[in-house]
């Protein structure tokens, strides 16, 4: 059988570890592995090449994806999806494995319904915003990149008696901000999923300043679009010189952590061990085990943050 792998949407560290495992496990199980370069765009353009051990030598420590990624507007046009199908048939590809988020999975689900090309989805995104799933490839590395940045910023914040407002990525999901704020001892955490009370925070901060607090670290999720507003709030309401730091795309990069590399390999093994008997599934990680789910089950479920983490972070939101 011939299997092909592609990466779609935003890149994340750990994708290369998954790609390496895909090639090595394919040969171990007697399959022929293929790469599709440049995601769905590459699938449309026929950028398909047989993969060898040489292709994946020395890539496990690298961030990003060696087969590159894309976001494809052309994919919404059936004419281009038909072209992608013809490219796959030309190479006699029997199965697609896609690393990405729910948008990527929806794209292949439509493709399957039209052309009956089986697929398996592996969650890969630093946003960690897939319902019925608690871990996406790239999350642990992103959290550690944020940790390093916060540690460095704390040094200068404490030296100058400043407030630093640090914006994390995640689109409309506050997972990175929430986890980072709790794990790194921030004084503020603002995320789209929860209300916040600046008046309560102001009372607390002014009291703490009298007791000797000399700097603040505030973690704000990008989805709120209030980073500069909070910077100004610290200056006007708290009386602290303030700086805003938008971490941006450094959160997608960096050498994948040990956990990332192990989890990536496990996701791939589960997908490849099950696609013949249960194709067209998304491999999810939920309550410390891997579960194969239908895309419809995921799409029709609401994503939610961990209640225990939210409880820990409520004081950082000004919520009693």
pLDDT in tens, 92-114: 999 999 999 989 999 999 999 99
Residue 124 and residue 138 in contact, taking contact as beta carbons nearer than 8 Å? yes
Nearest Cα residue to 65 out of 22, 6, 120: 6
Please list the residues that pair with 33 across neighbouring strands. Answer: 3
Residues 6+ apart with CB under 8 A from 44: 72, 74, 75, 80, 81, 83, 84, 87
State pLDDT tens for residues 1-57.
999 999 999 999 999 999 999 999 999 999 999 999 999 999 999 999 999 999 999
Catalytic annotation, pick one of 127, 273, 294, 306: 127
Sign of the dihedral defined by the CA atoms of residues 278, 279, 285, 287, in that order:
negative
Count other Cβ atoms within 10 Å, centred on residue 119.
Answer: 24
Q: What are the backbone angles phi and psi of residue 289, rounded to the nearest 5°?
A: -150, 160
Tell me the domain boundaries of the chain. Answer: 2-138+256-286, 139-252+308-317
Task: Report the pLDDT averaged over residues 48-74.
Answer: 97
Q: Do residues 58 and 40 touch, judged by C-beta distance below 8 A?
A: no
- Mention every residue, 6+ apart, whose C-beta is less than 8 A from residue 181: 188, 189, 219, 313, 316
Helix (H) or strand (E) holding 219: strand 216-221
Helix axes 258-274, 15-29, angle to 10 degrees: 40
φ, ψ (nearest 5 deg) of residue 292: -85, 130
B/e letters for 50-68, b = 16+ CB within 10 Å, e = fewer, are ebeeebbeebbebbbbebb
pTM of the model: 0.96
Chain CA centroid to CA 6, Å: 16
Confidence of residue 118 (pLDDT cuts 50, 70, 90): very high
Q: Class assignment of domain 139-252+308-317?
A: alpha beta
Tell me if residue 126 falls in helix, strand or coil: coil
Q: Is 124 helix (H, G, I), strand (E, B) or coil?
A: strand
Told to judge if 127 belongs to the known catalytic residues of this protein, a careful annotator would answer yes
What's the mean pLDDT in 116-122? 96
Q: What are the backbone dihedrals phi and psi of residue 173, each rounded to the nearest 5 degrees, phi first?
A: -105, 130
Class of domain 2-138+256-286: alpha beta
Same fold across 2-138+256-286 and 139-252+308-317: yes
Structure tokens at 182: 């709790």
The Cα–Cα gap between 96 and 7 comes to 11
Segment 208-236, tens digit of pLDDT: 999 999 999 999 999 999 999 999 999 99
Structural tokens at position 48:
């398909």
At 119 the three-state DSSP class reads strand
- Identify the three-state secondary structure at position 30: coil
Instruction: Please choose, from the candidates 145, 184, 179, the residue with its C-alpha nearest in 3D space to the C-alpha of residue 164.
Output: 184
pLDDT category of residue 320 using cuts at 50, 70 and 90: confident
As a whole number of angstroms, the longest Cα–Cα distance in the chain is 72
Torsion 229-200-203-173 (CA) sign = negative
Task: Tell me the pLDDT tens digit for each residue of 243-255.
Answer: 999 999 999 999 9
Distance CA 202, CA 199 (A): 5
Q: What is the Cα–Cα distance from 253 to 237, expressed in whole angstroms?
A: 36
């Amino acid at each position: 059988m011939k299997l092909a792998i592609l990466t779609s949407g935003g890149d994340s560290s750990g994708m290369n570890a998954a790609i390496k495992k895909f090639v090595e496990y394919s040969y171990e199980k007697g399959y022929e592995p293929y790469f599709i370069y440049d995601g769905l765009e590459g699938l449309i353009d026929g950028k398909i090449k047989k993969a060898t051990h040489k292709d994946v030598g020395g890539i496990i420590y690298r961030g990003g994806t060696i087969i590159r990624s894309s976001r494809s507007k052309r994919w919404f046009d059936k004419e281009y999806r038909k072209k992608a199908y013809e490219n796959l048939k030309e190479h006699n590809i029997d199965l697609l494995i896609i690393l990405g988020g729910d948008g990527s999975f929806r794209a292949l689900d439509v493709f399957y319904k039209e052309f009956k090309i089986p697929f398996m989805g592996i969650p890969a995104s630093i946003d960690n915003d897939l319902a019925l799933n608690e871990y996406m490839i790239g999350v642990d590395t992103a959290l550690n990149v944020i940790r390093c940045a916060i540690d460095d910023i704390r040094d200068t914040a404490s030296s100058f008696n400043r407030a630093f407002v640090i914006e994390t990525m995640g689109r409309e999901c506050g997972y990175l901000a929430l986890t980072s704020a709790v794990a790194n001892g921030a004084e503020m955490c603002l995320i789209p999923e929860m209300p916040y009370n600046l008046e309560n925070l102001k009372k607390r901060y002014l009291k703490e300043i009298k007791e000797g607090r000399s700097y603040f670290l505030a973690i704000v999720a990008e989805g709120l679009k209030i980073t500069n507003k909070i910077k100004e709030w610290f200056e006007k309401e708290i009386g602290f010189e303030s700086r805003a730091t938008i971490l941006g795309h450094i959160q997608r990069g960096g050498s994948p952590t040990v956990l990332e590399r192990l989890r990536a390999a496990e996701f791939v093994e589960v997908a490849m061990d099950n696609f013949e008997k249960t194709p067209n599934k998304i491999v999810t990680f939920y309550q410390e085990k891997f579960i194969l789910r239908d895309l419809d089950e995921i799409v029709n479920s609401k994503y939610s943050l961990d209640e225990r983490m939210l409880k820990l972070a409520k004081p950082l939101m000004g919520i009693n």
